[in-house]
Structure 1
Amino acid sequence: MFETIKLDVADGVARLTLNRPDRLNSFTVAMHAEVARAIDRIDDDHNVRTLVLTGAGRGFCAGQDLGDRAVAPGGEPVDLGESVELYYAPLIRRLTRLRMPVIAAVNGVAAGAGANIALACDIVIAARSAKFIQSFANIGLIPDSGGTWILPRLVGQARALGLALTGEPLSAEKAQEWGLIWRCVDDEALDAEVAGLATRFAKGPTRGLARTKSLIRSSWLHSLDAELDLERDVMRELGFSHDYQEGVAAFTAKRPPNFTGR
């Protein structure tokens, strides 16, 4: 079904693996198309309640494959804005708006757009050997794929500018210390850590998790008064949900809840 990615679905968890390890899982037009198809499939399958995004081999993703003919230098100038508009921006929008938690399992280097694709996920867990590199400055570009938006919001302007202007690698440990990612774990513990969290989300109150994700991500656009009104509306909606009723019943009965995502 796919040539540049792998998609595995089991027990409510979809695992999407970027699978060009010989090129550090860098993106081509073909990979973008396959990732888009995979996310469509995940979004349409209501048995899927969480998504894990990772890379094959020794890296998460090195960003754009500069050898791909769609962006290769030489000859006629290439419209990189078109590449962003057609491929990278839609991917970031899909990940941030997906109706379920999205976990990035960063198993190695995440560079350029690869770093910002990881940071667009809801939870980022990185192996201790992983590095985050805003490598755009090295080729005269800006941090795309949401980089100029998300970096200052996660780490502040001074650190965002340092990362973006120097292109210096940031270790996973420092990324956790700065609040750029959720957690840094030993390399050998990455798979188990991600699997445990993915299972937790897949068995959790998916609708409530999705609304939490949506409100936090959109809160930058709202005043406190507007956000309070949104919280009222969403609490009203969720108060009628099966999962809320089940959560209260389980709490009262002192038993584990059986959430269905409804």
Structure 2
Amino acid sequence: MTTATRAFGPVRLLRTGRVALVTMADEASGNTISPALSAGLEDVLAVVATDPTVHAVVVTGLPDRFSCGASREYLAAADPVDVEPFVRAFVHCPLPVVAAMRGHAVGGGLSQGLYADIPILSERSMYAANFLNFGLAPAYGTTWLLPARLGSTLGTELLLTARAYRGAELRDRGAPVRIVPHDDVVAVALAEAERIARAPRRALELMKAQLAGQVLAAGDAAIEVETGPHERSWAAADRLALVGDRYGRAEELRP
């Protein structure tokens, strides 16, 4: 059974059987973190969480941009805004979440996707933990998350180099996540979610609570260590100059 698409601002919800397909599609912001995108995702996941017929969730984005982290306006602000609820939305969802990361995922957007229970990446899209490009020490538990999801050495390399890696390169480097041809990402994610959704919803909720509790404990411990360095780097004299010089340049998404 497929239901009609519902829109929550720039976020769309489509029900297919026991699976909810959530699409983040903020064309205006290029799927950078915005109030509209954050509110829409929060509203959609709240609806999904209270629908007893939904057993699993797939989240995807624009065809070429899954989730692209901070906007220029966010980075130019005098003080950082708390975007942790958006970045860690999938781990807080009470149902299993498969992230169909078909397009680029950058900064907090990469962290967001990797907080899903099962992230699925595209061979050709770019994935970057580009915090240091703007003189920022990472936040959101990212210093734990990337090494945990992608492997200790590779995850640390992403953090320190701040460069973009194609999904195919991550696969060749041994990243223990599923990386498939670009046009197959959503179909593979839906197939995974449909397999998950065969289980009773209550059992899935209990399993997700176990998994999420462990992820949040580790992520919270990392955030406690990260908060001071992140705030001090935000206050650094050269941060705004780096944002002005580097934000939106083509090399941000080059290997």
TM-score under structure 1 length normalisation? 0.71
Query: Highest Rg: 1 or 2?
Result: 1
> Secondary structure in 2 aligned to 1:21?
coil
Partner of 2:146: 151
Partner of 1:175: 170
Partner of 2:66: 60
Structure 2 vs 1, CA of residues 215 and 177 (structure 1 numbering), >3 Å: closer, same or farther? farther
Give a deviation string over 1:112-149, Cα, whole Å, max 9, x none: 11100000000011121122100111111123333122
Partner of 2:79: 79
Structure 2 Cα separation of the partners of residues 27 and 92 of structure 1: 9
1:51 to 2:46 alignment: no
Partner of 1:192: 187
Partner of 1:28: 34
Structure 1 Cα separation of the partners of residues 105 and 21 of structure 2: 18
Structure 2 Cα separation of the partners of residues 72 and 139 of structure 1: 8
Worse overlay, 120-129 or 211-220: 211-220
> Secondary structure in 2 aligned to 1:7?
strand
> Secondary structure in 1 aligned to 2:60?
strand
Q: Which amino acid aligns with 2:139?
A: D
Deviation (angstroms), 1:65: 1.9
Give 2:91's match in structure 1, choosing from 87, 92, 96.
96
Structure 2 Cα separation of the partners of residues 200 and 177 of structure 1: 27
Structure 1 Cα separation of the partners of residues 44 and 195 of structure 2: 22
Contact 2:24/2:61 (<8 A) preserved: yes
> Secondary structure in 1 aligned to 2:39?
helix
Structure 1 Cα separation of the partners of residues 42 and 149 of structure 2: 26
Structure 2 Cα separation of the partners of residues 167 and 60 of structure 1: 18
Deviation (angstroms), 1:156: 4.6
Contact 1:128/1:184 (<8 A) preserved: yes
Deviation (angstroms), 1:93: 4.4
Deviation (angstroms), 1:63: 0.9
> What does 1:1-262 correspond to in 2, within 5 Å?
1-21=7-27, 23-67=29-73, 71=74, 73=76, 78-80=78-80, 83-84=81-82, 88-176=83-171, 180=175, 182-219=177-214
Structure 1 Cα separation of the partners of residues 161 and 22 of structure 2: 31
Q: Which is bigger in relative contact order (C-alpha 8 A, separation at least 6)?
A: 2
Deviation (angstroms), 1:177: 5.3
Give a deviation string over 1:225-246, Cα, whole Å, max 9, x none: xxxxxxxxxxxxxxxxxxxxxx
Structure 2: state its 5+ residue gaps: 1-6, 219-255
Q: Which amino acid aligns with 1:169?
A: A
Q: Once the two structures are aligned, what percentage of the paired residues are identical?
A: 26
Structure 1: state its 5+ residue gaps: 223-262
> Secondary structure in 2 aligned to 1:141?
coil
Structure 1 stretches of 4+ moved >6 Å: none
Structure 2 Cα separation of the partners of residues 72 and 166 of structure 1: 19
Q: CA RMSD in A?
A: 2.4
Residue correspondences, number: 211
Deviation (angstroms), 1:98: 2.0
Structure 2 vs 1, CA of residues 39 and 149 (structure 1 numbering), >3 Å: closer, same or farther? same
Structure 2 Cα separation of the partners of residues 170 and 4 of structure 1: 27
Give a deviation string over 1:46-91, Cα, whole Å, max 9, x none: 1111111111131111112223xxx262xxx5221xx22xxx2223
